[in-house]
Amino acid sequence: MTDASALPGQPRGGALSGPATARAVNVLAPNASAMTLDGTNTWIVAEPDSGLAVVIDPGPLDDGHLRNVVDTAEKAGKRIALTLLTHGHPDHAEGAARFAELTGTRVRALDPALRLGDEGLAAGDVVSVGGLELRVVPTPGHTADSLSFHLPADRAVLTGDTVLGRGTTVVAHPDGRLGDYLDSLRRLRSLTVDDGVHTVLPGHGPVLEDAQGAVEFYLAHRAHRLAQVETAVENGHRTPAEVVAHVYADVDRSLWPAAELSVRAQLDYLSEHGLI
Phi, psi of 270 (to 5 degrees): -65, -40
- Cα separations in angstroms, 127 against 9, 35, 48, 55, 163: 27, 30, 17, 12, 21
| Annotated active-site residue in 91, 145, 161, 175 | 91
Distance, CA of 49 to CA of 259 (rounded, Å)? 44
**Radius of gyration of the CA atoms of the chain, in A:** 19
Distance, CA of 234 to CA of 267 (rounded, Å)? 12
Q: Check residues 6 and 169 and name the one with the higher pLDDT.
A: 169
Q: Does pLDDT of 4 surpass 80? A: no
Distance, CA of 125 to CA of 135 (rounded, Å)? 6
pLDDT in tens, 41-66: 999 999 999 999 999 999 999 999 99
pLDDT for 15 equals: 84
Query: Average of pLDDT values for 4-14?
Result: 83
pLDDT in tens, 165-222: 999 999 999 999 999 999 999 999 999 999 999 999 999 999 999 999 999 999 999 9
- What's the burial of 110, exposed, middle or buried (CB within 10 Å: 0-12/13-18/19+)? buried
Q: Are 188 and 158 in contact (CB under 8 A)?
A: no
Query: Average of pLDDT values for 15-23?
Result: 96
pTM score, two decimals?
0.95
Q: Is the dihedral of CA 16, 225, 156, 95 positive or negative?
A: negative
pLDDT for 122 equals: 94
Query: Average of pLDDT values for 235-262?
Result: 94
pLDDT for 1 equals: 34
Query: Average of pLDDT values for 16-20?
Result: 96
Catalytic, 194? Answer: no
Q: pLDDT band at residue 143, thresholds of 50, 70 and 90?
A: very high
Nearest CA to 208 among 24, 55, 36, 30?
24
pLDDT for 2 equals: 42
Quickly list DSSP for 163-208. S-SSS-----TTTS-HHHHHHHHHHHHHHHHHS---EEEESBS--B
pLDDT in tens, 90-104: 999 999 999 999 999
Using omega within 30 degrees of 0 as the cis cutoff, is the peptide bond preceding 138 cis? no
